[in-house]
Structure 1
Amino acid sequence: MSGERVIGGYALRRVLGRGGMGEVHLATTPTGGLAAVKVIHPELARDPAFLRRFEREVAAARRVARFCTAPVLDAGIDGDVAYLVTEYVKGPDLAQAVREQGPLSGSDLEALAVGIATALGAIHGAGVVHRDLKPSNVLLSPLGPRVIDFGIAQLVDADSLASQAILGTPAFMAPEQVRGEPLGPAADVYAWGGVIAFAGTGRLPFGGGAPAEVLYRIVNEGPRLDGLDAGLRDVVERAMAKEPRLRPTAQQLLASLMGGTHLTPATATQVVERTWTGPRGLAGPVDGASVRSASVRGPLDVSGTARITPGASAPVQGPLAVSGTARIAPDASVSGQIAPSASGDVRDAAVPSAHGRNALSDKGFPRGGVTRRRWPWVAGAVAVLAVVVVGVVVAPWVWEGRPYTAGFGDSWATGASDGGDARVAGSDYVLTAKPGWRLWKSAPAREPDGGVVVSAKARREQGSGEYGVWCHGSASSGDRYEFGVSGSGQVTIVKRRTGQKGTPLYGPAAVKGATGSNRIVAECADAEAGGKVGLRMWVNERLVAEVSDASDPLGSGEAGVYAAPDAKEALRVRFESFAIDRTKD
């Protein structure tokens, strides 16, 4: 896109929000993914003292585990611009959700409480204090709550109450924060109680009014908690004790919420994801999404590319507003309106449904103007649309300049073998490799001719070993390039041929932050004139390896995923997404 602003290699697409520190933009990463980029106000970025704090606090924030958080992926200085990159979480913040849909209740409120407590445990475990936990810093993703902006409040001078009040939110400050005292993890626990009280009742725990009045109540009065379930209210009351020493830790909070059971952060995260139903819909644009089956009530805003796949049925009860490109396959069934915005267009839009119509004027703009953007609550298809959010689709695409993305449907191999077991679990693909084996599976779609980018998001659930993606391979010959991540955060690139020991091309080398859920991206270039293939690897949007193979290099073929244990215990890996795309020109 002409005129597109690029900072630190991230192409800024649109503003997600503004605050005291700067602007947050939705951005495209160097590997084609999405991220949230906070661009710091220039006057702050020019302050040497601020930059020193920025580097120190970002380094601490990057140590925070990914459990129920939007992790920090990158940060830096580009010219006179300071920026911070975090994982992009698609969904509203808690304040917006409560404002538009009312208080949370039942399993969603409980999952919210567990999720935020789990995030605080991860944040505090890295030696970081959030200092500004509030509803607008809790995003509601399809998989559960995600806490953002941890540690950012420390970037201002923490010595004065005025500076804290400017960046903080008085309604959720702890009494010691109001008094200007040093803050520890207990201040975040207090804020947790206020956030849960707000989420469950729709009211601020100390009411509204002038900030000075609210701060007075925080120090001298108790929070208003009527309306909360008795069990949850008891935990919130203990969390909001006036004295920090009387409050539970984040881990104790989690145990109380789970009836005394002490869960690991990974297990708690899984509990949240399995019980969370969340807001009834999707917030904001759907970027680069593919739709196979969805019933949409109200406008569905699309930024990037939306595809309705061959044989799909997507009844739309309201306009589909597109900023970018919408491709509707000729045999797809669509009822409703498909209306591009002034910057978008609709291609292959020969909608066969008797109820479908392409709402285009002669000049290519929607009749009646651009659709007003609002939160579309999607009823009856939350599970399907949760898959749409991350841009996955069950039906494979043929190569016509389009990427192949997979929801791991029936076309992926499943069942037991000598090497282990492969199965589809919801929208995920789970490989369980037996000790002494490498279990590798091919995608249903072959690579396109030329260079290819293969990506997957995966996490290790059991055992130790390595897992990742492979490309330029052949299921019949066993040839392939493997790009792996181990449970200890080591990355490797290995060339394999049948009957031969693997040839290490890179690593093993340690990569920070690669011990949890990881997005692995591999680029296998086309062979150059000199007979050399370039190979590059990214982990969680960071380039970690760049090598070449000039010794009888492999060409285009198949790609897929793999898992290989390194001990006597089986290795189980859950792949949440997979994609094959051409290398960008």
Structure 2
Amino acid sequence: MQAPLREQDPRRLGGYRLTGRLGRGGMGTVFLGEDASGRQVAVKVINPELADDEAFHERFRREVTAARQVRRFCTAAVLDARLDGEPLYVVTEYVNGPPLDRAVRDGGPLAGGDLEGLAVNIATALGAIHGAGIVHRDLKPSNVLLSPTGPRVIDFGIARALDATDGPTRTGQFIGTPAYVAPELMHGEEITPAADVFSWGCVVAYAGTGRAPFGGATVPETMRRVMSAPPVLDGLDPAVRDLVRRTLAKDPAERPTVKQLVQALTGEEARPAPETHPTRADPVSGTRPVATAPAPPRPAGGRPAGGRPAGGGPGISRRRVGVIIVAVAAVVAGGAAIGLLNADGEDSGGTKPPSAASSRGSGGKKSESTAPFRDDFGDRPPKTRDKLFSDRFDDEKSGWNNSTYAAWDMAYRGGKYEVQVLPTTNRTTADAPVDDVPDAQLVEAEVKPDGGTGEAGLFCHRHGDLGYAFLLRSDGRARIVKMESGEVKDMATRTATGVRPGRLNRVQAACAADGDTVRLGMWVNGDPVAKAAASDAYDDTTTSGLLVMRPEDDAGWPKAVFDDFSLSSI
């Protein structure tokens, strides 16, 4: 809340006219100001005793410089700063809205879509902050402002400047608010983005209950609870309770990442089959239910926007408010197509989840039955006619998604392309940047699955949530599967004897639509592995690309490295 300027307060700093006081904290005083154009700004003036500390001055310069690189969505952007002279100050966007703590005190705790909207916006802001190499370190309700367009996170990076080299305190002053600070900071251990995830959980718990999950009557009691007691989450909306509980793990390694938070919060909830319960299934042919999500928005250029749709996290509801749309649109704008085919659905006749359709068009398949295979491919991959696209992934502008934001899980790295499956889904696909994929095609890539049980490879003829995948495991197990309505069905499984564990292996997949029949063939390092066919025809465009899949009974995060991709007509 704005207060009048005091007699000793400055009236002008640099090019900014100060008009009122917004607040005061351990580092300094925040003023409301105006720039030369009349735009309102917030000016944080650093206390003189801190500015005289050379170590603080250097850290302040470094952290403010980094903070100016943070993307603006869901944050109050750093606009200007005085890094030398007196007084030191930082100028940020002025957010016209109350802090979260005041809003909860005045209006009560949040629930439903309001709480989830707050949670996803804060997580998205942390993704942008961490992307600039900054750990906030002091995320708390008073540092979340509720603007008319959604929550905005402020004061990121500034708390780091207070940190001394020998621990988390300076001249006896604790850096951060104890009820919202991760235990590793209290122990003087290394601070990583996981500390902000802990604070995120505390803030969301406060927003949903009106109290901090580790609150105590005194500061020592609060610190003891943070370091050794379980969180108190009574009254928190069940839709986010389990996710919040995981963020409050004492061990930073046990907390989800910000990327996983965004995936869980923006995912669609799985629809279980009526009167059935998920069970552990056979790792080859069993299935289990998982959510699907809508396709990303299409930008003006016509290709789908970057960022794959997010898979549903456990217990997260579909309720959403407008601020989520603003935040997620900001996150997913501007990249190549990414599709997500979700994990297996129960094969029990229950309600099927909605399609995770690609934004390349619509149209339906005509038939579902499996047809006898006509052995037309032979032992060698078919001869190609025209090479439509090839990529060695040495140019990050070649058209695949490449992003470091919280929702992404694939990127160019070291002249290769990496794809990872997050805990909130069982498989992730990346569409090749090819607009017109032929009915008869040969898709090729060098593939290196990780050393676990995850599978990686290629897919073709993906239309909505139906398509065909050619998967290779590091131990040589290879299979062709049909993906449909959230289910995975084996069509052919064999062991590829020539696989080189821990190295790139050449995988080739032939897909040829002939009338109502789709013929499929798979080769690994030039050797034939599997063939299959199905009666499926389409009325519109399909996509092809790269895929990584987690087995049905595995809790790991499989990833794979890809190189030398090509797509040709046959």
TM-score (ref. length: structure 2): 0.46
Larger Rg: 2
**Higher normalized strand content (fraction of residues):** 1
Q: Which has the higher contact order (CA 8 A, sep 6+)?
A: 2
Q: Could you tell me the TM-score, scaled by structure 1's length? A: 0.45
